[in-house]
């Protein structure tokens, strides 16, 4: 089953970075096991463009549409047997220590 894992953090995280697991190791292990199909970091929200159409009119907004302290900083596409395995994969991700990870199954997958 495929899952999209949003990697989220606060805009100003407070953490002791010396305790955080190595993200490159997590990527290497999950790529080798075939559980991570793709993933990448994202640029800051200030580089975003929000696209909406209202009443047939195109509305563009520079930056994020919503003001929030939580920011999506990356994503991974996972292939796991079930939600339990996806949770175990997410649990080992470094951002589970300092941010949050949101797992969503692909519709119809």
Mean pLDDT, residues 47-52: 87
The CA distance from 5 to 2, in Å, is 10
Q: How many separate domains does the chain show?
A: 1
What are the start-end ranges of the H helices in the chain? 23-32, 83-91, 95-98
CA dist 74 and 18 (Å) reads: 21
pLDDT tens digits for range 40-49:
999 988 888 8
Mean residue pLDDT of the chain comes to: 88
Banded pLDDT at 15 (limits 50, 70, 90)? low
Spatial separation of the C-alpha atoms in residues 31 and 64, rounded to whole Å: 31
Map tokens 């407070």 to a residue. Answer: 14
Domain that holds residue 46: 2-105
**Radius of gyration over every alpha carbon of the chain, rounded to an integer in angstroms:** 16
- Percent of the chain whose predicted confidence (pLDDT) is above 90: 58
Whichever domain contains 56, its CATH number is 3.30.70.1060
């Amino acid at each position: 089953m495929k899952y999209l894992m949003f990697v989220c953090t606060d805009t100003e995280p407070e953490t002791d970075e010396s305790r955080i697991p190595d993200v490159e190791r997590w990527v290497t292990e999950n790529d080798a096991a075939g559980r991570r199909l793709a993933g990448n970091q994202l640029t800051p929200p200030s580089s975003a463009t929000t696209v909406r159409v209202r009443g047939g009119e195109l509305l563009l907004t520079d930056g994020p549409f919503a003001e929030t302290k939580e920011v999506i900083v990356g994503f991974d596409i996972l292939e796991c047997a079930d939600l339990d395995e996806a949770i175990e994969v997410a649990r080992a991700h470094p951002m589970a220590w300092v941010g949050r990870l949101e797992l969503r199954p692909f519709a119809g997958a």
